[in-house]
Amino acid sequence: MNINYPEVIQSLNIWSGEIDIQVLGGGITNHNFVVMDNNKKAVVRIGQDIPEHLVIRSNELMASQAANKVGIGPKILHHEKGILVLDFIESKTYDPELVRNNIHKIIPLIKKVHQEIPNHLIGAPMIFWVFHVIKNYANFLEYKKSKHILRIPELLKSCKYLEKLSAPHEIVYGHNDLLAANFLDDGSKLWLVDWEYAGFNNPLFDLGGLASNNDFSSEQEISLLEEYFEKKITDKLLEQYHAMKCSSLLRETMWSMVSEISSSLDFDYQQYTEDYYLKYKESYENLTK
Q: What is the CATH number of the domain that holds 66?
A: 3.30.200.20
For 46-65, write each residue's pLDDT tens digit: 999 999 999 999 999 999 99
Are 250 and 146 found together in one domain? yes
User: pTM score, two decimals?
Assistant: 0.93
Confidence of residue 265 (pLDDT cuts 50, 70, 90): confident
Are 212 and 239 found together in one domain? yes
Measured distance CA(74)–CA(34) in Å, rounded: 14
Are 244 and 266 found together in one domain? yes
Confidence of residue 1 (pLDDT cuts 50, 70, 90): low
Are 147 and 161 found together in one domain? yes
DSSP letter at 127 equals B
Are 248 and 149 found together in one domain? yes
The residue from 70, 87, 104 where one domain ends is: 87
Are 81 and 119 found together in one domain? no
Are 65 and 208 found together in one domain? no
Are 122 and 243 found together in one domain? yes
- Beta-carbon contacts of 27 under 8 Å, excluding residues fewer than 6 positions away, are 45, 194, 265
| pLDDT exceeds 90 at position 28 | no
Are 251 and 119 found together in one domain? yes
Confidence of residue 128 (pLDDT cuts 50, 70, 90): very high
Are 135 and 67 found together in one domain? no
For 61-96, write each residue's pLDDT tens digit: 999 999 999 999 999 999 999 999 999 999 999 999
DSSP letter at 50 equals B
Number of Cα atoms under 13 Å in the Cβ half of residue 270: 2
User: What's the number of domains the chain is made of?
Assistant: 2
For 89-123, write each residue's pLDDT tens digit: 999 999 999 999 999 999 999 999 999 999 999 99
What CATH number corresponds to the domain at position 263?
3.90.1200.10
Are 133 and 28 found together in one domain? no
The residue from 72, 87, 102 where one domain ends is: 87
Q: What is the pLDDT of residue 70?
A: 97
Residue 18's domain comprises: 5-87
What is the rounded average pLDDT for all residues in the chain?
95
Measured distance CA(35)–CA(37) in Å, rounded: 6
The residue from 87, 103, 132 where one domain ends is: 87
Are 133 and 208 found together in one domain? yes
